Chains A and B, each alone.
Chain A
Amino acid sequence: MERNIVYIALFAALIAALGLLPKITLTSGIPITAQSLGIMLCGTILGAKRGALAVLLFLGLVAIGLPLLAGGRGGLASFASPWAGFLFGFPVAAFVTGLVVEKWRGGNMAVVAAVGAIVGGIVVLYLIALVYYMVMTGTPLMGAISTVALPFIPGDLIKAVLAGVVTQAIWKARPDAVLSRS
């Protein structure tokens, strides 16, 4: 049980660390950080329930005022922006990602984890973020897609593939630590 708490806490810290490491700038000029990679890894490595708890813990620390979001942002105001749908969607994204990896046994781990990350960390996450943005700003669907989703989806697809590669590497190096498969 201590192991569960510590794993959840360390992955919450990992989400923060990945968001605060230097960011990559895509050829399109849009900077992406590895923060959402952290969300995906919570799901692929910790599994649905623990992954979602790690993300909730991370958001709890952001809410009480730690500047852990990418770019050193944080505080309650992070949840007041029309883009906060991403934050509210993060735990669901990690849960769905973890669920895919837990249920889809067999197959190449990199493929399973990448597909999980795409389903949870992109499809589900953007659905929540889009609906939230549309409700908050009254923007119609096409407008919301072009401002909230399209510029960021290429970067997130790269991150989903990376989540697959990283998960497979961990699966080989520390099979016991991949709780989604234990």
Chain B
Amino acid sequence: MLTLTLEQQSWAHRVPVGRKLLVLFGATLFLFPVVSLPILSACLAVVAALYLSVGFVALKAGLAMARPIAFVCAIILAYQLFIGDVLAGVGIVLKILAMVGFANFVTMTSRLSDMMDVTMRLLSPFERFGVNTRAVALAFALVMRFTPVLILKGAALTEAWRARSGARAKWHVTIPLVLLALDDAEHVAQALRARGGMGQNGDTPWNET
């Protein structure tokens, strides 16, 4: 299914995902208490330079991904203008843009499978507390498989509603959609059990029965 990763290859794609996440985490912690406008502007400039170092395509994709944030920034600026402290508002907006821009940059230059590997590695210390990483991996795969399936079923239900009532379906498709999801879940669970299931007793995820 669709991902947010940039197809094109670059130096940033070759940096190990774990290292990128560490830098992102560190940068976010560093940026959080900063209020100085020059430092925040410099950080935003560095983020823009990162995008440009990958190419104009990356910058364009990054701006498109940041669009929902523009709305948030506008609200914050409008509010700060209203209470008469515009400079503080500008600082907050610069900080948000830099943090969101950098986080999007990491997402765009990291393959989904690498992200998945890092997630599993981060979870592995919790195995001793009863977290079954194999079950988590299976759950991730199931969601990726079933999200498009449920979207298609939801769209089909919406069409069917429209064909019969003439009006647009609003919440009406929710009940049949949840029923379809529940029936799918029952079938998949049976199929998994029929193929040997998740493993021996005591090998349960999150210590549940």
Contacts and interface: CB of A to CB of B under 8 A. Distances in A.
Q: Looking at chain B, what size class is its interface with the partner chain?
A: 35 or more
A110 interface: no
B106 to A, nearest CB: 6
B142 A83 contact: no
Interface of B: prevailing SS = helix
A9 B27 CA distance: 32
Contacts of A66: 1-4, 112, 144, 147
Contact of A34 (B69, B92, B174): B174
Interface string B179-209: 1011011101100110001100000111011
B143 A61 contact: yes
A6 B185 CA distance: 6
B144 A61 contact: yes
B12 interface: no
Given A1-B205, A60-B119, 19 more contacts: A1-B208, A5-B138, A10-B150, A16-B143, A16-B150, A20-B151, A57-B140, A58-B143, A63-B115, A65-B5, A67-B2, A67-B3, A74-B107, A75-B104, A75-B108, A76-B104, A77-B101, A80-B100, A82-B92
30 contacts: A1-B209, A2-B193, A5-B139, A6-B185, A7-B182, A9-B140, A9-B185, A10-B150, A10-B181, A11-B181, A13-B143, A14-B150, A16-B143, A17-B151, A21-B155, A34-B171, A61-B143, A66-B4, A71-B68, A75-B65, A76-B24, A76-B103, A77-B69, A77-B104, A80-B103, A137-B76, A143-B79, A166-B175, A170-B175, A170-B179
